[in-house]
Structure formats: C-alpha cells, structure tokens
Chains A and B, each alone.
Chain A
Amino acid sequence: MDLELMTNSFPKLLSAAVITLKLLSVSLIIGLFIGLFFAILRLSKNILINRFAYGYSYIFRGTPLLVQIFIIYFGLGQIEYLRSTALWVILKEPYWCAIIAFALNTGAYTSEILRSAFQTIKPGIIEAGKSLGISNKVIFYKIQIPIAVRQSLPAYGNEIILMMKGTSLASTVTIMDLTGVAKYIISTTFKPIEVFIVAGGIYLFMTFIIHNVIKFLEKKYSFN
C-alpha cells in the first residue's frame, strides 16, 4: 500500500470532486423540472399525453446510462447536419452532453417518483380543500405539490445518491471528474488500488452528506 501516493493524490481528487458535484447539481436541478413536468403529464386523463410521458420514462429507465451518454455524445456527433446547426455549440462540449444525458435520465426517474407520490395523496385531502371552496389550481399548488414532495423525499434521496454515482460515467466522455482524475493518476502511477480507495472514500463521504441532508429534511417536514 503506497500511503504517500494516497496522500498526494487526495487534493487532486478533492478538486475533481467539485466537478462531480457541479455535474450532479446542475443535472439534478434540470432533472427535477423535467421530472415534475412529466409527472404532471402522467396524471393527465388524455391518453396521448399520458402515453408520451410514459414512453419517455420507459426509454430512459429501460436503457443503461452509459448507452444514453454515448448516444448523445458520440452518436449525435456523427450526424453531419447537426454539426452545422446552433445546437452544435452545446453538443460540441462533453460537459453539456453529460448534463443532457444525466438530466434526462434523472428526469425519468424523478417523474416516476413524483407521479406515485401524487397518486398516494388521499382523495379526502383534496375533497376537504374543495369543500372549503378552494380552487383546483390552489389545491394543486398549495396542497398536492407540498404533500407529494414530502412523500417522495426518501425515494428522491436514493435517486440523488444513484445519480451521484452515475456521474462517474462522465469520465467516459473525456470529462475530468472524480473518476476521470483517478484514472489519470493511475495511468501515470499504475497503482489502481490506492487511488480508487481514496476516490471511493470521497464518493462515500458525499453519499454520507446527501443521506444526512435528506434525513434531516424528512424529519423537518414529517407529518407528525
């Protein structure tokens, strides 16, 4: 065990973890909006809208994240027409390709989490609102959404942790995130165990923080 290598690589890996957190937070924020949007579509009575939203979540939950990144990064890069459009400014950058893939992926899972949370709301609560003469819109924004968000916290916390680990795939499209830098250090030192232990430790620490934040929020917003 090369302890010197471990201490030397720690600061480099720590600064790479910032890239990982950036990827994670940006894709989670975008993914949350996508998820909420598609969850609402899923609640629609219109069969076409419903099917469309279901199709989206089915595709992105049914294929590996790695495949999604490769299709967006290498796949779209092969389409010559796309390269002449303004879209290429975004798709040219590995960073944005990864964000798009992550956001669409987590959006699909988030939409499922939120949809099931909406559906667990007891009809009595909504009826109570109606009997007080509150409009449907206000019921939705002031009653349904807060309850759904609280209901989905445990599942969403898991999704954040899964996504955090998923960002390691960004290294496959040349992004120097935590995993990317770990691989780079290994490529010059040929000592994978030491470097991956440090990198794994940093991932574990990030999971620990996310886990506890979610736990705190769960407690704070518990119904009791």
Chain B
Amino acid sequence: MNIFKKTIFSVLLSLLVMGNVYADKIRIGTEGAYPPWNSKNEAGKLIGFEVELAYTLCRYIGQQCVIVEQDWDGMIPALIMRKFDAIMAGMSITAERQKAISFSQGYADEVASLAVMKGSSLEGLDTSAGINLTKPNAAAKKDLKTLTAALAGKTVCVQTATIHQNFLDSGDVGKVNVRTYKTQDEVNLDLASGRCDAALAAAVAFSDYAEKSGKPVVLTGPTFSGGAFGNGVGVGIRKDDTELLKKFNAAINKARKNGDISRIATKWFGFDASM
C-alpha cells in the first residue's frame, strides 16, 4: 500500500469513526435569533428557553444532545436532509408544517401580537384582549374586521416562513402589504426605523426587543392563537423517525410533571408559557 492509498484509507476510517461518535447524540436544530425563545449571548453561545429545555429533555431521554444552529428559512428542509434530528426553534405546530414533518406534543404556547411604535395611528386599536382563530366567535370576527380596516394599505413586517406570515397571507385581515425578513432582528430594526407601519410576531419577541433596545415599541390589537397560528410550539421531527418522537413525547411529559417546563419558561419569559 503506497502512502497515497494509506492517507485516503485513514481519512475514510476516521470519518467512519466520527460518524459513529455522532450517531448516539441527538442533534437539535435551533435558530439562535429569536429571543427569548432561542438566541446567542455576546460570546456566541446559544442560550434561551429552548436551549435550556432541550438539555433538560435530553437528560430525561438519557442521551447526549448537540445543539446545531440553522437559519430559520431553511429549518425544515435541513431537518428533512438530516442535518439534525429535531427542531426546537419556537416552531408552532401547524397543519401546513405537519404535511412535511411530525411534531411532538406542544411544550409552550406562543402568543402572537401586532406591535407598532409609540404614537402610531395603529396604537390602541379597539379590539378584545385576545382572539382564537380555530373557531372564531363573534368577537373575534369583529376584531378581524377592525384590523382589516386599520391595516388597509399598511406595511406589516414579519419574519419569513412563519405562522405570522401565513396569517397575513391568508387574507383574514384583508389586503396587507406584507414585507418579509430573514430574522426577527431585522423586523425589529425596520419597525423602529419606520419602514414598517406594524410588525407581527410572538408578543415576547417585541417586549424583549423593547426592553433591550429601549425603543418605544408597543403591542396593539388582540393577541392571536389557533387557526393559522397553530397549536402551541412543539419539537419538530422527521416523519419516519417515530422512535425519537416517542422519546421526546415521554420526556416532555416527565418534564411537565416535574415542573421543569414551567420553571424554565418563567425564567426566560417572565411568565409561565408552558403547556
């Protein structure tokens, strides 16, 4: 065997061994840009509700975890292409996504809301506190009408490929000028600069931004749940990976029972968003 063959052989061998090392670790994909759900600290380390919860769930499963960073708009394709085995990225369980992947039971509730800059004409809309769109009642229908009138011709900014974008595209609030961004950070920047008349995302994403940046961002209109907004946030898993799905469901049950999810949620959100 000449030296060239030897080198190739040893490289291939080491790749095989490395593959095995990774095989028994669960790789979890997250975005790292959606605080307080998941984000990065100054040192570039992934932090947030879901990062802490992921490690807790893995402890219950009894396997080691690696958390992998992935841009939001490629999250589901990356899961399908086996770049990682599970998604924990503030991803709501929706019928549309369930066509492509499976979800565990929900572990937290994401409450969506519109946000505007203080002093905007959209501030203090006359709506109820919150509406559920799964089976919209009279009050919810009235609120949607109010929103349709208020948002007509306005530019509403959302992160791309989110439930928030789906909702605006669904036409429930009429013809809105929807602008999509790669990350929530960029949505926040353009809301503050005045390019967006309003933005739609998780209410906590806006309160987190307002707190950290000191910008006068205020929530307006009702909070949204159900319908296009899905049924809580769950762990996304490949459809053929039923074994892992069972493991995660069991781990979520245990973590919920022991109060871990409530504790971690309260730590990151300031209130108990667990479900």
Are A192's CB and B77's CB within 8 A?
Answer: yes
Q: Which of A78, A172, A184, A190 contacts B77 (CB 8 A)?
A: A190
Mask of A68-83 contacts with B, CB within 8 angstroms, 1/0: 0000001001100001
Q: Which of B96, B161, B179, B186 contacts A74 (CB 8 A)?
A: B186
Which of chain A's residues have a CB closer than 8 A to the CB of B181?
Answer: 174
Q: Contacts A191-B77, A192-B74 hold; do A172 and B161 have CB atoms under 8 A apart?
A: no
Mask of B53-84 contacts with A, CB within 8 angstroms, 1/0: 00000000000000000000110110010000
Are A83's CB and B180's CB within 8 A?
Answer: no
A215 interface contact, C-beta 8 A: no
Q: Which of A74, A174, A190, A191 contacts B180 (CB 8 A)?
A: A174
Report the interface size class on chain B: 20 to 34
Which of chain A's residues have a CB closer than 8 A to the CB of B195?
Answer: 77, 92, 94
Q: Is the interface of B mostly helix, strand, loop or mixed?
A: helix
Which residues 142-165 of A have a CB within 8 angstroms of B? Answer: none
Which of chain B's residues have a CB closer than 8 A to the CB of A42?
Answer: none
Shortest Cβ distance from residue B81 to the other chain A in the assembled complex, whole angstroms: 9
Are B96's CB and A172's CB within 8 A?
Answer: no
Are A186's CB and B77's CB within 8 A?
Answer: yes
Are B193's CB and A77's CB within 8 A?
Answer: yes
| Cα–Cα distance between A212 and B22 once the two chains are bound (Å) | 50
Number of interface residues of A (CB under 8 A): 16
Which of chain A's residues have a CB closer than 8 A to the CB of B193?
Answer: 74, 77-78, 83
B182 interface contact, C-beta 8 A: yes
Q: Which of A83, A92, A183 contacts B160 (CB 8 A)?
A: A183
| Cα–Cα distance between A52 and B160 once the two chains are bound (Å) | 41
| Cα–Cα distance between A77 and B101 once the two chains are bound (Å) | 38
Mask of A92-123 contacts with B, CB within 8 angstroms, 1/0: 10100000000000000000000000000000
Which of chain B's residues have a CB closer than 8 A to the CB of A187?
Answer: 73, 160-161, 165
B194 interface contact, C-beta 8 A: yes
B189 interface contact, C-beta 8 A: yes
Shortest Cβ distance from residue A8 to the other chain B in the assembled complex, whole angstroms: 15
B190 interface contact, C-beta 8 A: yes
| Cα–Cα distance between A118 and B166 once the two chains are bound (Å) | 54
Are A184's CB and B180's CB within 8 A?
Answer: yes
A222 interface contact, C-beta 8 A: no
Which of chain B's residues have a CB closer than 8 A to the CB of A94?
Answer: 179, 195
Shortest Cβ distance from residue A95 to the other chain B in the assembled complex, whole angstroms: 11
Mask of B186-212 contacts with A, CB within 8 angstroms, 1/0: 100110011100000000000000000
A188 interface contact, C-beta 8 A: yes
Are A92's CB and B194's CB within 8 A?
Answer: yes
Which of chain B's residues have a CB closer than 8 A to the CB of A192?
Answer: 74, 77
Which of chain B's residues have a CB closer than 8 A to the CB of A188?
Answer: 96, 161, 166
| Cα–Cα distance between A187 and B101 once the two chains are bound (Å) | 13
| Cα–Cα distance between A78 and B189 once the two chains are bound (Å) | 8
Are A77's CB and B190's CB within 8 A?
Answer: yes
| Cα–Cα distance between A172 and B77 once the two chains are bound (Å) | 19
Which of chain B's residues have a CB closer than 8 A to the CB of A183?
Answer: 73, 160
Shortest Cβ distance from residue B183 to the other chain A in the assembled complex, whole angstroms: 10
| Cα–Cα distance between A191 and B179 once the two chains are bound (Å) | 22
Shortest Cβ distance from residue A174 to the other chain B in the assembled complex, whole angstroms: 5
| Cα–Cα distance between A191 and B101 once the two chains are bound (Å) | 12
Give the 5 A-B residue pairs with the shortest CB-CB distance, closest first.
Answer: A187-B161, A77-B193, A190-B100, A190-B76, A174-B179
Q: Supply 16 A–B pairs (Cβ within 8 Å), ascending by A.
A: A74-B186, A77-B190, A77-B193, A77-B195, A78-B189, A78-B193, A92-B195, A172-B182, A174-B157, A174-B181, A186-B73, A187-B161, A188-B96, A190-B77, A190-B100, A190-B101
* Interface, chain A (partner B; CB < 8 A): 74, 77-78, 83, 92, 94, 172, 174, 183-184, 186-188, 190-192
